[in-house]
Amino acid sequence: MSADVVVPVERLCATLDGFDEVARRHALESCSWGHAGEGNVHATVLVDPAAGAELDAAEAVMEELYGLVAASGGSIAGEHGVGLLKRGQLARQWTPQAVALHEQIKHVFDPKGLLNPGKKLAR
């Protein structure tokens, strides 16, 4: 399971060290790769897709990763966007006013919730 995240370059090492620690705590192997010179990386935990407990642990790791990224002043969405896996996570990095504006804009363009239902939601 992988998440592309972006952090300020000067905080990249500390954030990735924190990610590795979180993965270890959940008994998962981790690796990060990508565009580190820009602070944009794919933080990945290795799981057996048939092992439900590992998938649950991976989701917990990602949840903590998003907290680390937000605390570092980064973004939970690098080059691949928000989508379903990161739904509800934007509120970690945006002010309440930005979240409300995001919801208002989405409603203006998609009042019936037909476009990408369940995706790109701030909360």
Question: Positive or negative CA dihedral for 93, 6, 16, 27?
Answer: positive
Q: What is the pLDDT of residue 18?
A: 97
Domain that holds residue 107: 87-123
CB atoms within 10 A of CB 87: 14
Residue 47 and residue 77 share a domain: yes
Domain count, the chain: 2
Q: Which of 50, 65, 81 is the last residue of a domain?
A: 81
Residue 76 and residue 21 share a domain: yes
Q: Residue 123 pLDDT > 80, yes or no?
A: no
* Edge-first strand listing for the sheet containing 2-6: 2-6, 40-46, 29-35
Residue 109 and residue 53 share a domain: no
Residue 54 and residue 14 share a domain: yes
The residue ranking higher by pLDDT, 17 or 79, is 17
Residue 64 and residue 38 share a domain: yes
- Write the pLDDT tens digit of every residue in 44-83: 999 999 999 999 999 999 999 999 999 999 999 887 777 7
Residue 97 and residue 42 share a domain: no
- Write the pLDDT tens digit of every residue in 77-106: 887 777 777 878 888 888 899 989 988 998
Residue 59 and residue 12 share a domain: yes
Q: What is the mean pLDDT of residues 19-35?
A: 96
Question: Which residue in 88, 30, 85, 27 sits closest to 53, CA to CA?
Answer: 27
Residue 66 and residue 102 share a domain: no
Residue 91 and residue 74 share a domain: no
Residue 96 and residue 74 share a domain: no
Q: What is the pLDDT of residue 111?
A: 92
The three-point CA angle 27-78-10 to 5° equals 80
